[in-house]
Chains A and B, each alone.
Chain A
Amino acid sequence: MSPEEREALIEQVVGAHRERAADGSVLAYPAWHDLDESARREAFERALVARRLEAALDPERRSATVRAVLARIAS
């Protein structure tokens, strides 16, 4: 995997979009399975920062995770 491919996979995993299974449970992001352990830990740390930035830029101080969960509740 090239550094560019690794970076693209990490950035996708850092995002809050997750599909749901037929039973309604939240599924792991497919790209997560393609990452090695070091990249998975990097994605975790970068998600902490990303959620903080998202919340700070949102008028209601909601990160993408908060908004994704609320959207699931409303659906």
Chain B
Amino acid sequence: MEDLDRHLSAIAAGDADAFGRFVAGGERRLRESLRSFAALVDVEAVLQESLLRIWQVAPRVRPDGRPDCLLRLAIRTARNLAIDEARRTRRMALDPELLERALADAERASAAPAEPPDPRFFSAIEGCHGALPDKPKQALGARLESGGAESDAALAARLGMRLNTFLQNVTRAKRLLLDCLGRRGFAMEISR
């Protein structure tokens, strides 16, 4: 089991690449910790904002003797942000049962081990990606190259596609990748 705190000293020193490795290792657990809020807040926005705040406070974080203290802090930060955002947009108190489910999600995510993926998964997905039809591959490639920096409308315009066509091609590319990975015996790798 990998302790993501091995990146902490480099992150505290301002090493953005180390922060990238930390986020890559903890993103799934952080996202899953917010499942209870999926209908109440835009989880992607909450998650990105939480990570930006963690980058800011990392130099002041001191390990507490347990693994993944920075990730546990990120999970708490994200949960508090999600609660604030949900209260703000709904202008009402949140259901206590939802808050209990959120705490349970966060505890589960904090305790879950980070398991390294099967290395054969990466060669399988490369093969599946190479076999995609042109248009879906172009659309997915534009999303991948952009890395969230550009809107889908801008990416579609660059490819000369209507926005809906672009979105359909992205969806189709992902479905084809999942089908292909399933045929190669890697369906379970996606859910890890």
Q: Which of B146, B150, B167 contacts A12 (CB 8 A)?
A: B167
* Residues on the A chain within 8 Å of B114, using CB: none
CA distance in complex: A47, B31 (Å): 9
Q: What residue of chain B has the Cβ atom nearest to residue A49's Cβ?
A: B190
* Residues on the B chain within 8 Å of A16, using CB: 44, 48, 147-148
Secondary structure at chain B's binding surface: helix, strand, loop or mixed? helix
Which residues 45-75 of A sit at the B interface, judged by CB distance below 8 A? Answer: 45, 47-58, 60-74
* Residues on the B chain within 8 Å of A45, using CB: 38
Q: Could you say which of A26, A40, A63 has the most chain B C-beta atoms within 10 Å of its C-beta? A: A26
Instruction: Tell me whether B148 and A17 are in contact (CB under 8 A).
Output: yes
Instruction: Tell me whether A58 and B144 are in contact (CB under 8 A).
Output: yes
CA distance in complex: A18, B149 (Å): 8
Instruction: Tell me whether A64 and B38 are in contact (CB under 8 A).
Output: no
CA distance in complex: A53, B150 (Å): 19
Query: Does B112 touch A at the CB level, under 8 Å?
Result: no
Cβ of B122 to closest chain A Cβ, rounded Å: 6
CA distance in complex: A27, B43 (Å): 11
CA distance in complex: A10, B172 (Å): 13
In the complex, 10 of the A-B residue pairs with CB atoms within 8 angstroms, ordered by the A residue number, are: A7-B171, A12-B167, A18-B45, A28-B45, A40-B39, A44-B43, A51-B27, A52-B28, A53-B174, A65-B148
Binding site for A on B (CB under 8 A): 16, 19-20, 23-24, 27-28, 31-32, 34-35, 38-39, 41-49, 51-52, 55, 85, 117, 121-122, 125-126, 129, 143-144, 146-152, 163-164, 167-168, 170-171, 174, 177-178, 189-192
Assuming A56-B125, A68-B149, what are 5 further A-B pairs, CB within 8 angstroms?
A12-B152, A15-B152, A41-B39, A48-B31, A57-B126
